[in-house]
Amino acid sequence: MTTPSSSVTAPSRASIDLTESARAGWESWLARRVERVTGPRGDLALVETRWLEPGESVDDKQALIGYGPSAGLTRMRRENLETGEPEYGYRVWDAASASIRSFDAIETFPFNAAWVLEAWFEPVSEDRTVPFEHLRDNGATRELVVPGDITFSLVDDGRAQEYTVAAFDDGGTLLVPFGDPTNRSDDPDLASYPVGRFLVVQRIGGAADAGTPGPVLLDFNRAYIPPCGFSPHYNCPLPPAQNRLGVPVTAGERRVRSASA
């Protein structure tokens, strides 16, 4: 794929070189994921998220009452969904949390070269925001910056289907929250995390400027479970309607397995 197409005739399979590069780095990526989620500030370490009432103040010592020496704290700020006023809160992390101690593995689909896709990124003239529902906002939405559209195609029932998905700007990285039929599958060999999964968009050819149109790589073998799949104290963005794919994505992470499971 070198330019976006208005008529889809084939799936957006990546080149052999890109596919083999993706395959070569897959196992090390899996290992890094485990290191990341089990680290002292990893997803499994988050044991509390608290937003303070207006005018309320809690110092670090107060916030950590009841936690052991392996716990630490970070501060947060966000805008109130209704008023736009700033809200302040904190998170408590525990490097020896029960979730870390019981963690066994992240179950994944086997590597599948068919899910290494080349797509086209088309920036918008100005930063655009798209309303994303979040897991713990009871249907309310938060506006996230979506700097462009990503277009690719998948084969559905023998026919190529074009998709244009929204990727939000996560600190300079384009991140696609997506859903697919595996989220709702009753088949234990096909089921993935019910809320959806995330995918980092990779630029092709060194064109790292988010304002530049060009090809991007969507390696669904690196689709990963969002932080809320590891701790109930996260509030993850949910896939918007255009990011819900009609084809089961049998690649990437599936679910978290604990030693007691």
Answer yes or no: do 61 and 154 share one domain: no
CB 161 within 8 A of CB 9: no
Answer yes or no: do 198 and 69 share one domain: no
pLDDT tens digit sequence for 166-210: 998 888 889 999 999 999 999 999 999 999 999 999 988 755 456
Position 2 scores a pLDDT of: 43
* Helical ranges in 95-149 per DSSP H: 98-102
Answer yes or no: do 66 and 152 share one domain: no
Where does residue 171 fall: left (phi above 0), alpha (psi -120 to 50 degrees), or beta otherwise?
Answer: left
| Residue ranges in the chain whose pLDDT is less than 50 | 1-9, 208
Q: Which two tokens stand for residue 111?
A: 């590597």
- Structurally, how many domains does the chain consist of? 2
pLDDT tens digit sequence for 98-111: 999 999 999 999 99
Which structural domain, as residue segments, surrounds residue 74?
Answer: 43-103
**Does 5 reside within a domain?**
no
**Does 10 reside within a domain?**
no
Position 9 scores a pLDDT of: 40
Calpha distance 257→250 (Å, rounded):
18
> What global pTM score does this model have?
0.89
